Amino acid sequence: PSSLRYFPEQREPETNASAALPAKLLLSGIKKTHKNNNKKRTITKKREKVQLCRVNPAPSQNAGRGSGPEESPVAALHAPVATETLEFGVGDSPVTPQPPLVPAEAGPLPQGPSFPPLPEPAARSSPSEPALPAGPHWAYEGPHGQQHWPEGHPACGGRAQSPIDIRTQWAQPDPSLPPIRPVGQPGTPAFTLSNNGHTAVLALPPSLRLQGLPRSFAAAQLHFHWGRPGHAGGAEHLLDGHRAPAEMHVVHYDAERYTNASEAQHHAGGLAVLGVLLEVGADPHPTYDNILSHLGSIRYAGQTTAIPSFSVQDLLPPRLDLYYRYNGSLTTPPCFQSVLWTLFQQPVRISLAQLEQLQGTLYTTTAAEPEPQRLVDNFRVPQELNQRLVLSSFPRGPEGYSTGEVIAIIFGTISSCLGLFLAIHFVAKRMRARRAQDQDVVFKASSHRTHSDDGPRP
């Protein structure tokens, strides 16, 4: 600034005074004048340098220790200067300093708790590193159980929640629903399997796509729900009141509108989940064994492991054109109502030993906790339908009869046959009795005539 640049005016020497001075004094005066000018130029340069340091301050060990009222340059870097203009610098022009480049702390992605919670990135493959979901603590039972979920997650108290009990006779047939068509290849030699404290989660690559929906959906993850050893029920969705032993959910997100499942779960129709009911059969399922055989590597919450990739489509039932469709939510906190549900009518059968692997291998606690707790009964109770429409991709018919309906039909048929048999029996018995009575009357009448003929004659 001009106020910091002081240069003395150059005056013409007075001829009458300078002529009378000796030459030595004149030379000393000139030297003193140059010395003073150089000193003032040095002060000016130092002041300009101080102003430059205020614009681009350098770190100093004595930062913030100044005794004056003015704030130190280093301390100003940590102040919230991004929203205000500090007017200082060279040339009287306001200068807006840039905020410091401080690395942002990486926080966990929002979960959906599935949907149970989404898994951690695949890079976290060490079993000792935690992969637990963020947000308020929740559980299926106890003080943080599902009846308390709406307290920390308001969406859990909504009117379009999942799972539901599907009454098959109330499902509206819609022949325009196309078959589900999984497409794409994994494109990776390994999948990441993790225990998030609520379920076993297998992360899936987005190269696996789903066709047969309004838009293109990319795979995100799959997980399981089950009961406890010795109990038959563990699935979340019910068909006419029947609960299967377990259920698998394959989570997809709308890849045309969103970049990942964490973003898509906040928007209506952002997620599409395939529900597969698991029943017990005689033989083990070889594809499910690709997952279940590795549960021992993720016994405790927060542990992850890498497993060889395989065909995810082989986990689904053979008939992908038979399913129920409705709008619902994630079945775990935060319970966002953004899911287009597809529940296949046909179950997939696994062996009893495979089911017991689900029921008895994992823990909800970490390896460091002194009292381990089994991960069992991780299913939500059915929610109210609240006048939502449930569609079926197939017409009503014998193929669509529920177990209860089949039992009712069989019981009705047996009862009808038994009733008809008893009716015929009683009618036949009555007819035999009447015939016997008629024969007895004829016999008595014949006997009476015989005695009359043998009597005295006149």
Provide DSSP, 208-224. Answer: -EEESSSS-EEEEEEEE
What is the pairing mode between strands 242-243 and 238-239? antiparallel
Q: Which of 170, 177, 163 is nearest to 390 (CA)?
A: 170
Provide φ and ψ at 254, rounded to 5°: -70, 100
Q: Which of 374, 334, 365 is nearest to 227 (CA)?
A: 374
The residue with tokens 């979901």 is: 133
CA distance linking residue 150 with residue 271, whole number of Å: 21
C-alpha distances (whole Å) from 69 to each of 62, 64, 65, 88, 374 are 15, 11, 11, 16, 62
Three-state DSSP at 248 gives strand
Helix intervals (H) in 226-341 = 261-264, 286-292
Q: Yes or no: say if 132 and 196 are a contact pair by the CB < 8 Å rule.
A: yes
Tokens, residue 298: 């993720």
Tell me which residues are annotated as active site.
198
Tokens, residue 212: 């047969």
DSSP state for residue 175 in the 8-state scheme:
T
CA distance linking residue 423 with residue 254, whole number of Å: 64
DSSP H or E segment with residue 275: strand 271-281
Task: State the amino acid at position 456 in one-letter form.
Answer: P
DSSP state for residue 246 in the 8-state scheme:
E
CA distance linking residue 199 with residue 379, whole number of Å: 10
The residue with tokens 């590597």 is: 297
Core vs surface per residue 119-134: b (16+ CB within 10 A) or e: bbeeeebebeebbbbe
CA distance linking residue 41 with residue 323, whole number of Å: 88
Provide φ and ψ at 264, rounded to 5°: -70, -25
